[in-house]
Amino acid sequence: MDSEKQLIERARHHPESFGQLYDTYYPKIFGYVFRVTGNYALAADIVSETFLKAWLRIGSFKWKGISISSWFFKIATNELNQYFRKKKYIPQTLSDLSLVYETNDVLSKMDRLEEFEYVHRMLQRLPPRYQQVIALRYFEELSIRDLSEILSKKEGTIKSLLSRGLDKLKIMMDESATNGYL
C-alpha cells in the first residue's frame, strides 16, 4: 500500500508514472467490463475511457488507505452506467472467449464457454445495478467494503443488491432449466 501511495503521488506530478498504474490495473478493470458487456471491442473502449478519465483526474484522487483499484472500478462502473443509459443493452455472443481460457482441452474449453455464455446471458437480463454488484463481487472477488466504496453505497445496500440480484438470477436459471433452455 505504501508503494502504491508513493506511485500515486509520483503520477500526480509526473504523468508518465501513471503508466505503471495502468499496467498494473488494466487487466482487472478490463476483465470486469468485459464480463459485464460480453463484447471485447466495447470493453476495450470503455476501459480506455476509464483510464483516460483517471489520468486526467489523478490530481483529485484522495488516498483513503484503500487500493486505487477501487477508484478505477468506480470510474469503470460509471462508464458502464453511461453506456447503459445511452443505449439499450443488446446481448451478443461471446466469440472471443478463447482469450479468457488457456487450455488445450477443446471439450473442456467448449463446456466452459457454453457455461459462461449461459451465465452471461442470464446476467444480462438483470438490471445493470445487479449485474455490477454480482460481477464485482464474484468475478473480480472484491469485498463488500470495496463494493461500497466503488458504487458509493452503504455496505447494507450492497448486501441487499447482491441478495436480490442472486435471487433474481436463481429464479431465471430455474425457469430456464424448467423450460429446457440450458
**Residue written as grid cell 500515486:** 8
Quote the pLDDT of residue 47. Answer: 92
Average pLDDT of span 77-87: 84
Give DSSP secondary structure letters for 67-86: -THHHHHHHHHHHHHHHHHH
CA 32 to chain CA centroid, nearest Å: 2
Question: Which tens digit of pLDDT belongs to each residue from 139-178?
Answer: 888 889 888 888 889 999 999 999 999 889 888 888 877 7
The residue with cell 484522487 is 61
Domain that holds residue 42: 2-178
What number of helices (H) and strands (E) belong to the chain? Answer: 8, 0
Count CB neighbours of 177 within 10 A: 10
**Chain centroid to CA 104:** 27
pLDDT of residue 137: 87
Task: Specify whether the CB–CB gap between 46 and 83 falls below 8 A.
Answer: yes
Question: Which CATH number covers residue 163?
Answer: 1.20.140.160
- Within a 10 A sphere around the Cβ of 8, how many other Cβ atoms? 18
Average pLDDT over residues 14-19: 82
* Reported confidence tier of residue 118, pLDDT bands at 50, 70, 90: confident
Q: Which pLDDT band holds residue 98 (cuts at 50, 70, 90)? A: very low
For residues 97, 114, 35, 87, the Cα torsion angle rounded to the nearest 10 degrees is: 100
Which residue matches cell numbers 464480463? 35
Number of domains in the chain: 1
